[in-house]
Amino acid sequence: MNLDLDILRSLATGMDLGSFAKAADRLGRSQSAISLQLRKLEEQLGVELLRKQGRNLVLTEAGEVMLGYARRLLALNDEAVTAVRGPRVSGTLRFGLPQDFAETWFPATLAQFSRAHPQTQIAVTVGRNSELLQRLDEGELDLILILSRDLDRPRTTPVLELPMAWIGPREAALLVPPRDLKADGVKLVMFEAPCVFRRAASEALEAASMSGRVVFTSPSLSGIWAAVAAGIGVTLRTLASAPPSLRILGPESGLPPVQAIPLLLVEAPGEAASPVLQRFKEILLETCRAALGSIAAGSTPRMRVA
């Protein structure tokens, strides 16, 4: 049995965009052609990959497994095409990104780029928004990926918008009952200020006439997760970075809703982008949207919702 990469690309694109109608537009096919492709794949595998949930199609358990393999097969296919036919680039690129992505999807992106363009060198800095922007302006970085609601500067490429959510401990016994939140205030686990998530948490609580107080700070994301898991408090992050060992706190928790936050790719001011930067940016946008597209479209990662 040989899987059809065109069909796998239709499946992956549909899940990334949150709609197979949008996938049809992106891939230059009709929606009925996409539907026929997916049925053919199900018949070939002998399992149901998609099921109806209201007016939408969602993945079955087998579909989730297939999607994971589809992404890997497509990435290897695209990498091979780039290595053989793509532009030959060489040089050095200095790139910065937040901790939220440094240990999730980005290492695979870096490996893919390095294999396709072995004559390049990528120096990666992991840091917070303020540090990355400062180093970009001082000429120490060429390109950065950041989460920001109010960034207004040239040479910025919107990637997608990521939902933010309150994250709490896995154990229900460690959660503060909703009835006590307004009286006692919300205990927050955060980075030191300035922090885009800290600001968003304060604004959301203030809009809901609730108070919050920071009871734990850490310079590392792993420290944040450890404090939340221990029940010291709750935090606010994107769903893209939250570990499955914790839980998403839904409306029943008594915490206010929070808007999504834009993910942006920002180039250094000055001269035109180098061939290395242009090629890296293309691969980064493609892999980032593939990894985070379903979350941006509203799919919840494998975390328990309180």
Task: Give buried/exposed letters for 126-154 (b at 16+ CB in 10 A, else e).
Answer: bbbbeebbebbeeeebbbbbbbbeeeeee
CATH of the domain at 278: 3.40.190.10
Mean pLDDT of 136-144: 94
| Residues 70, 130 within the same domain | no
Does residue 217 sit in helix, strand or coil?
Answer: strand
| Residues 203, 275 within the same domain | no
Q: Give the C-alpha separation, 217 to 212, whole Å.
A: 14
Host domain of residue 51: 5-84
Q: How far does CA 7 lie from the centroid of its chain?
A: 24
| Residues 254, 172 within the same domain | yes
| Residues 122, 37 within the same domain | no
| Residues 22, 79 within the same domain | yes
pLDDT of residue 302: 47
Mean pLDDT of the chain: 86
CATH of the domain at 50: 1.10.10.10
pLDDT of residue 43: 92
Quote the number of domains for the chain: 3
User: Which comes out higher in pLDDT, residue 303 or 223?
Assistant: 223
| Residues 184, 230 within the same domain | yes
Q: Give the C-alpha separation, 115 to 211, whole Å.
A: 50
Decide if 212 is inside a domain: yes
